[in-house]
Amino acid sequence: MALCSSVGALALPSELIVHIFSFLSDRDKLRASAVCTRWRECLFYPALWTELKLRIGGGTNGGGSGSDQTPRLEFLMRKFGSFVRELQLEFAPVNNYLSPLQHGVDAVESDPQFAKDAMVTYLDQVLCVLGSLRNNRNLQKLSLYGDTCILHEDGILDSTYLSQVDQGGKKMKEIQQLFEEILSNSRQMKWLSCAFMLGVVTPCSLASLSNPSSSSLQHLSLIDNQLPSLISTLELERLAHLHSLSLDFCDFTSDMCRLLACGDRAPLHRLSLLLNGAALDVKPLDGTAAEDDWKALVRRSTNLRVYIMGMDVHSQDLLRVLKPSVPLERIHLDSYSTLVTDGVIELISQQYHKTLTHFILMRDDAGFPDLSVNRNEDPLVLLTWRCLHLAVLIIHGYTVWSHNLVAISRLRGSNLKVLEVSEESIDFDPDQSVYIEGDPVHNLVKEVSLGLGRVWHPSMDNSVVLNEPTQHFHREMQSFSAGM
C-alpha cells in the first residue's frame, strides 16, 4: 500500500482508483479507502461490488447481540442493495447453537425473552435486506437462508410467540410483499434460493416472478417448514430454462417430474430433494414421482444428478423413495430417533454403484448400532467396494469396526477425498488385539493413512461431522447446483 501513502495517490483520477481497487481483496479495499474522502467514495463504485456474501449471526461467543449487527447491515444494504448483482445471505437468530457457548441451547430454553428478542431482530433484519433490494433490476442471484431450526424445535415459532413479537402479523405480511416486489421487479434473475426463511415465501410468491426473469432463471430452490407446497407444477411450467431445482421431496410429484421431462424444456442437470420424516404424517409420499416418471426424466435429462437428504426418516420410507432409476450422486441420512438399517445401505450400494460419490450417515443419539451384526460383510465396506466413484464418506453415530475402516481406506485409496469418522464411532475387535502389538488407535491411524495415501485421523471435534442438518443441506445444495 505504498502507493496509497504517497501524496500522488491523492491526485489520482477516480477511474484509476477504481482500477486499483479491483485488484484488492475486500478487506484491503476497506483499508485503502482510509486514504482520503475521494478514495472512500470510490470504494462503493458498483463495478467493485457485484457480489456480496454475508452471515448475520445471533451474537454468540461474545460477538455482541444480533441487534448490534443491524446498523452494519443497514449500512451495507444502503450502499449495495440497489445495484448488487449477486447476494448471498445467511440469517442466524440464535447463532452456533450446537456449540457450548454463552448463548447456546440453554440460553434459549431458560430465557424465552432472549428468543423473542432474537426473533424481533431477525424480522427487522429481513425487512432491511428486502427493502433495499425491492428496486434492484440488476439482481441476478439471490440466496437467502435462515438458521431457525432451534427456534422451531423449542416452540419459539408457534403462534403464541409470533403474536407477541409481531402483533397482527404486520411485519410478516410486509416481508412477503417485499419479496414478491423483488421478484416482480427483477429482469434477469438466474438464481433464486430461499431456504428456511421464516415468513418470506408463500405458495403464491413464485407467481410474482416477472416474465423476463422466468425466461432467464436457471436455478430455483424454495424450501421451508411449511406444509403447503411452495413450488407448483403450474408455476414451474413458466420456467422453461431451469437447469437446477431444489425442493421438498414430497412436493416433487409425478406431474412435476413428467413436466420436467418434456422435450420443449431445457434438460435438468441438478435436483436436490429434502425428505423430512417428521412431516410424512401430514405430507405423505403418495403422489410423488414413480419409477416410470423417473425413467422419463432421465431419458430427457441424460446428465441429471440427484442429491437427497433424509432427516429422521424410517427405513421403510427410504426403501419407498429410493427408486432404481434415480441418478443418485449424493445422499445424506441424518437421524435423531430413527435407525437406518443395513438393508437401506445394501440397496443404495446395489442401485447407485455407478453414480454415487457422496455418502453421509449421521445419528445423534447415545447408542451406536452395529450395522454389520448377523452379516458376513459390513454394508459400509460393501458400499465402498461397489461404488467406484465414491469420494466422500462421513459417518457418526454408528459403530465402525477398526478393521472395516482399514478395508474402506484400502478399497478406494486416494480417490476417497474425504473420510470423516468420529472417534466415538470407532470400535476395536478384542480378538485382534492379541495379534497386533502397540496402541490400537495408533495402529489404526497408521493403516488408514497408508490406505488413503495421506495423513488421516479420526474426527475429534464432533462439530465437524455433527452440524445443523438444514444448514448442511442448504450449503451442499449450493455447491452441488453450482457445479453443474
Mean pLDDT of 442-448: 94
Q: Is residue 60 part of a domain?
A: yes
Q: Is residue 280 part of a domain?
A: no
Cell of 391: 469420494
* d(C-alpha 176, C-alpha 173), whole Å: 5
Same domain as 81, residue 43: no
Cell of 240: 422453461
- Choose between 7 and 421: higher pLDDT: 421
* d(C-alpha 314, C-alpha 340), whole Å: 7
364 falls in which pLDDT band (50, 70, 90)? Answer: confident
* d(C-alpha 101, C-alpha 463), whole Å: 13
Query: Is residue 165 classed as helix, strand or coil in its secondary structure?
Result: helix
Same domain as 27, residue 61: no
Same domain as 60, residue 38: no
Angle between helices 379-386 and 402-412 (to 10 degrees): 0
- Choose between 11 and 13: higher pLDDT: 13
Q: Is residue 263 part of a domain?
A: no
Cell of 68: 448490534
What type of residue sits at position 38?
R
Same domain as 129, residue 40: no
CB 205 within 8 A of CB 222: yes
In this prediction, residue 166 carries a pLDDT of 80
Of all residues in the chain, the percent with pLDDT exceeding 90 is 57
Strand-pairing partners, residue 146, are 91
467 falls in which pLDDT band (50, 70, 90)? Answer: low
Same domain as 116, residue 42: no
Q: Per-residue pLDDT for 140 more than 80? A: yes
Q: Per-residue pLDDT for 431 more than 80? A: no
Same domain as 77, residue 44: no
Same domain as 329, residue 185: no
Contacts of 154 (CB under 8 A, 6+ apart): 108, 109, 115
Residue 29 maps to which CATH number? Answer: 1.20.1280
In this prediction, residue 464 carries a pLDDT of 55
Write down the residue that cell numbers 410423488 correspond to.
288
Mean pLDDT of 380-387: 97
Q: Is residue 262 part of a domain?
A: no
Q: Is residue 125 part of a domain?
A: yes
CB 103 within 8 A of CB 59: yes
DSSP 336-369: SS----HHHHHHHHHHSTTT--EEEEEE-SS---
In this prediction, residue 34 carries a pLDDT of 82
Contacts of 183 (CB under 8 A, 6+ apart): 189, 192, 205, 206, 208, 209, 210, 213
- What do you get for the CA distance between the two ends of the chain, in Å? 39
Same domain as 357, residue 315: yes
Same domain as 462, residue 452: yes
In this prediction, residue 446 carries a pLDDT of 95
E strand or H helix that includes residue 113: helix 112-133
Cell of 360: 453421509
Q: Per-residue pLDDT for 105 more than 60? A: no
Q: Is residue 140 part of a domain?
A: yes
Same domain as 444, residue 311: yes
Phi/psi class of residue 343: alpha, beta or left (left: φ > 0; alpha: ψ in -120 to 50)?
alpha
Q: What angle do CA 220, 224, 230 make, to 5 degrees?
A: 55
Same domain as 191, residue 228: yes
Q: Is residue 259 part of a domain?
A: no
Same domain as 414, residue 318: yes
Query: Is residue 310 classed as helix, strand or coil in its secondary structure?
Result: strand
Mean pLDDT of 212-233: 91
Q: Per-residue pLDDT for 261 more than 70? A: yes
In this prediction, residue 379 carries a pLDDT of 96
Average pLDDT taken over every residue of the chain:
86
Query: Is residue 271 classed as helix, strand or coil in its secondary structure?
Result: strand
* d(C-alpha 340, C-alpha 58), whole Å: 33
157 falls in which pLDDT band (50, 70, 90)? Answer: low
Rounded CA Rg of the chain: 25
Q: Per-residue pLDDT for 319 more than 90? A: yes
The total number of structural domains in the chain stands at 3
CA proximity to 120, closest of 75, 65, 78, 82: 65
In this prediction, residue 237 carries a pLDDT of 96
DSSP 186-209: -SS--EEEEES-TTT--TTGGGGS
In this prediction, residue 465 carries a pLDDT of 55
Q: Per-residue pLDDT for 476 more than 90? A: yes
Cell of 459: 474426527
CB 400 within 8 A of CB 425: yes
Q: Is residue 445 part of a domain?
A: yes
Which residues constitute the domain of residue 24? 13-48
